[in-house]
Each structure stands twice: as structure tokens, then as C-alpha cells.
Amino acid sequence: MAIGRLNVRVGKKGMGKAHAQYILRQDKYKPHAQKLEKLENIGHGNMPSWAKDNPLLFWQMADEHERKNGSVYREHIIALPREMDEQQRLALAKDWIEKELGDKHAYSFAIHVPLAMDGKEQPHIHLMFSDRANDGIERGADEYFKRYNSKNPEKGGAKKLNTGLDYKTRKDQLKEQRMRWQDVCNAHLEKAGINKRIDMRNWKERGLTQQPRNIPMWAIQQDDVKKAYKEKLQARENLRQAKFEIIVKVGNLATAIDEIKSPVFAPKTGEIQRQRPSPIDTTTPTPKEPQTHDRGQNERPEKVLSFREKMAMKKQQEQPTHQPKQKPVEPQTNNDKVSTFRQKMAMQQAEKQQAEHNKRLAQLENERVEREQAERARQLAEQERLTKAQQQKDEPKRERDNSPRPF
């Protein structure tokens, strides 16, 4: 299954230009495109005439003229399928922008392709756009971001379409938006001939028993976390391979048992009759022994031969009507036992390694939480120290103010 992720962020006044430079990897963020990741594609659209070829100017004017407590932009951060190539990802991004924004909102976008913890590509798109909608009225930079005038739209700024909504409404809209992204992305995956799909349902809706962990970016960049994650992936692959080998082994064994039980392997009646030893023919005359004067020696072989004949005939009479015997299942050989034992040991070892790696990741997360708590405690202590110092500094002044004055 391909990775599915869509997050929405809001940028306040004063953050527009800096964030546009960040996603476009310009100015001080230019080294990021050379060291951390690949800047695959950039673009913009629906800009007013005064910023048609300069999107940074649009975001700079938004920072300057937007209201003090107003939002300058909204941003979609969306994971793109790594199974797609560069052109397929760009086509998917443009299709999403066309369906969601159309020609109403000014936007800038950039596709970044860093390396994930498993060493493979992790493509994603940053799409930042203005809440203000283009209504066909030409406005200058100083008028575009003014408050909207419903009675005389020409005298006010462009209207914001995504304001005044409560938390539940925004939550429902985000859920619907994620499902729209699922439909668009899966359609492009199918068009590209890729048999993987994304699922934007949450972990409870998918029937998962364990909540996925969200590791922050700063933790992902640490070498020990990368090493632990790669070891976890290797252990998971070893476990998968061991399970596959056991399944193949069990399948081959079941096939062999079915073949043994098949009538094709049952011996025919005629073959068993030919293989069964025939009884001693009693009609065959026995050679005469030379007579001697010792009667006991002459009669003893004849008596023994007669006894054998009787036993053979009795055994033949007692034997039931012939039925083909099924070939017994051959016991497992020593080599098979050793192979099965090694597979079980490999599975146990892989499960043990995966448990150790999960424990290591949990330990790293606990250490991070402890560091944050220690930092907060240090900040509180420092703030308390400064407060006490200020109180001690103000104490003589209060004493002077409260001292009795001479008449």
C-alpha cells in the first residue's frame, strides 16, 4: 500500500514570504535543496496582475497589508506516491490543484523529494494558497488585502471564503478533503499501471489495534533513530521471508500427502498377487530319500515337510480377500526436521529483533519527552528566579514609598 497523508496548516501575518522562500528553497533556504533533499518541481498560479510573475511579492504584500490577527495562507502538505516518476507526480499535483483551487485562489507549490528512513524516496508537495478569492475585480496590492465590502465590493478587498467556521465543521471538511485526495491519487495510480493504492481512513476505521506513531522530523534525522529504524525494517523482512518459506514448505508437504493418498499411487491387484509369495505346491512329488535302516531318519524330513505345507495352506486360508494397501506416509527425514527447526529459529530471532527495535524506539521517545520536560522545568525555574530578582529589586522602592513622610 502506498503512503497516504494530507495535513493542513495556517500561516499568520508575517509568515507568508518566509514560508514561500522555504518551500521554494530560495534565499537562506537554498542549501536545503543541495544537502537535505531534491527540489523536483515548483510553480504558482492565479496571481493578481501586479504579482503575476513574482509570487514572492504577493506573499510579501500579504504580510504587510493583511489584518494583524488575520491568516496569510493555508497550506496542504501531501505525501506523493514514491512508486510514480517525476512527470506522473507533477501531473497528480496539478490535477489536485485544479480540482481544489480552480482559478479562485492565488497559490505557490513545490515538490520536495528527501530520503526516507529506509533510504528510499519520500516525495511530498507543499501547496500554500490565499484564502482570498479572485472575483474578477482588479485591485492593487494595498487594496487586495483590505476587509471585504459586501455592499460595494470594488471599494473593499478580496473576500475570504474559509472564515467563521467552527472546529467541528473544519474537522468534517478536512475528512472529506482527505477522501477526495484518496480518489484523485488512486485514479492516477491506476492510470499509471501501479497496483498499489492509498487509504486515507484513520487507524480505527481500518480496524488497526495499534495507533501509528508520528516521529518528528528532528528525531528522524538522528543517526541512532535511522539505524534503529533500518534494523526494524530488516527484522520485519526476515520475519516475512521466514513465514514465506514455512508456507512454501507446508504447501509442498500437503501436496506430497495428497499425491500419496491419490489412487494413482495405489498398487494394482494383479501386481500384489504377483508380488505375494505363492504357497508351497502340495502336488509336487518330493524326491525320495535313500532308504536306510534308521526309520526315524527316513520319516523325520517327511513330517517336517508336511507341517510346513499345512501351515502355508492355513495361512492362505486365513488371509482375507486381497485389498490394495495404501502406501504409508514417509516419515519426515532428518534434513526436513533440521530445515523446519532453522525456520522456526529464524522466525523467533526476527520477532525478538523487532521487539528490541520497538523497545529502542520507545526508549528514544521517552528520552525526548524527558528532555522536553527538563527544558520546561529549567525555563520555569529561570522565570521564577528572574521574578524573585525583580521582586527583590523593587522591595527597597516599595519600602521608601510606604515610609511615613514628615509633616
Residue 284 lies in a domain: no
What residue numbers bound the domain in which 373 lies?
215-277+337-395
Same-domain check for residues 68 and 45? yes
pLDDT of the chain along its 407 residues, tens only?
Answer: 578 899 999 999 999 999 999 999 988 888 876 666 789 999 999 999 999 989 999 999 999 999 888 899 999 999 999 999 999 999 999 999 999 999 999 999 999 998 877 778 889 999 999 999 998 899 998 899 998 988 888 889 999 987 778 888 999 999 999 999 999 999 999 999 999 999 998 888 888 777 777 666 666 667 777 777 777 778 878 887 887 778 777 766 666 666 665 554 445 444 444 444 444 444 444 444 444 444 444 444 444 445 667 667 776 766 555 455 555 555 555 556 666 777 777 788 788 888 887 888 888 888 888 888 888 888 888 888 888 877 777 766 655 555 554 44
Same-domain check for residues 158 and 262? no
Last-in-domain residue among 184, 212, 240: 212
Phi, psi of 283 (to 5 degrees): -85, -15
Model confidence pLDDT, tens digit, residues 302-355: 444 456 676 677 767 665 554 555 555 555 555 566 667 777 777 887 888 888
Same-domain check for residues 106 and 230? no
Predicted local confidence at residue 389, as pLDDT: 79
Q: What is the largest CA-CA distance in the chain?
A: 174
For residue 91, the domain's CATH number is 3.30.930.30
When divided into structural domains, the chain yields a total of: 2
Same-domain check for residues 221 and 203? no
Same-domain check for residues 262 and 133? no
Predicted local confidence at residue 92, as pLDDT: 96
Same-domain check for residues 138 and 241? no
Residue 114 lies in a domain: yes
First to last CA, the chain: 89
Predicted local confidence at residue 78, as pLDDT: 95
Residue 129 lies in a domain: yes
Same-domain check for residues 122 and 229? no
Q: Strand, helix or coil at 109? A: strand
In which order are the strands placed within the sheet that holds 105-114?
Answer: 6-12, 71-79, 124-133, 105-114, 37-45
Same-domain check for residues 55 and 165? yes
Kind of pairing, strands 71-79 and 105-114?
unpaired
Same-domain check for residues 208 and 219? no
Active site residues: 22
Same-domain check for residues 30 and 159? yes
Residue 295 lies in a domain: no
Cα–Cα distance for residue pair 230/224, rounded to 1 Å: 10
Residues 243, 351 contacting (CB under 8 angstroms):
no
Residue 321 lies in a domain: no
Residue 380 lies in a domain: yes
Residue 18 lies in a domain: yes
Residue 331 lies in a domain: no
Last-in-domain residue among 172, 192, 212: 212
Same-domain check for residues 47 and 157? yes
Residues 75, 19 contacting (CB under 8 angstroms):
yes
Last-in-domain residue among 212, 234, 267: 212
Helices (H), 263-333: 269-275, 295-318
Per-residue exposure over 170-201, b if at least 16 CB sit within 10 Å of its own CB, e if not: eeeeeeeebeebbebbbebbeebeeeeebebe
Same-domain check for residues 235 and 201? no
